[in-house]
Every structure is written in C-alpha cells, then in structure tokens.
Amino acid sequence: MNAIIFLAPISSFDERLREDRRVNRLEDTYMLWQTLCSLQMLSKTQIILFLNKCDLLEQKLRAGVKVRTHVPSFGDRSNDVDTVKKCEYIHFLASVVAVVPRCRCLTVGLPQISNLILKRSQNNIRLNSVDITYT
C-alpha cells in the first residue's frame, strides 16, 4: 500500500457518535487518526489528511454555534472558520507527534505550524510530511 487518504470531518465538533452519545465525533476522529498513524505496519505508507466538510463548518459558525461549547480546549480563540481550521490542523499534527513511531515520515502542509509543534515536542521524531488539504 502506497498511501492512505484520511478524511476528517471538521464540522463534527458539535456532534456525538450514534453508537455512544457520550463520545464527541471530532474526538473520535482524533483517536482514529492517532491509531492509524501509530501502526507500525503502516510506517512506510504515505498518509494524506483531508480536513473536509469545511462548508458545513462555515454554516455552523455563521449560525452562531460556538466551538468552545463543545470543545473546551478551543478556549477563547476566535470562532471563525480559519481559526478553527488551524486549531484542528494543529491538534491533528500534535496527536501524531505524541504517538507516531520514530521511523514515520509524513508531509506537512503549513510548515510554520508544524515547526512550532516540533519545537515543543520532547521527542526527536522526524516529521517530514502530513499533506493537509481543506475541502
């Protein structure tokens, strides 16, 4: 297998899993992403992350839905589409740094953000790439 395309619905921050109403859908997506990235058998596989459903995210934010109400770690950041996208992008990258095997090679779409995460990381992980595309 050469590549895996991982679709992350970033508009799901205010939704719960149908099978377990206690679990936030976005948090579930983060956990699945971490699991996928940490699998040793996929250590040589390119992983492409698509943060999708941005149109639905924009609709929810315009309707007045507050991200911090559903994702307390969002804090007092601005409740606009670009800020939410960047925050979720950082969260996905940070979760990879936390669990990824040292041999994992990923592609980074926003180098200034990924460099910030790497500087804060206690690990000496070689993070070359996680392709991020907003759809």
| Alpha-carbon span 78 to 32, nearest angstrom | 27
Q: Identify the structural domains of the chain with CATH numbers, from first to last.
A: 3-134 (3.40.50.300)
- With 80 as the cut, is the pLDDT of residue 20 above it? yes
In this predicted model, what pLDDT tens digit does every residue of 42-95 receive, in sequence order?
Answer: 878 878 788 888 889 999 999 999 999 998 888 899 999 889 988 888 888 777
Q: What is the per-residue pLDDT for 106?
A: 52
Q: What is the per-residue pLDDT for 125?
A: 39
Confidence of residue 131 (pLDDT cuts 50, 70, 90): very low
Contact between residue 43 and residue 5 where contact means Cβ atoms under 8 Å apart: no
DSSP letters, 74-100, are GTT---SHHHHHHHHHHHHHHHHHHH-
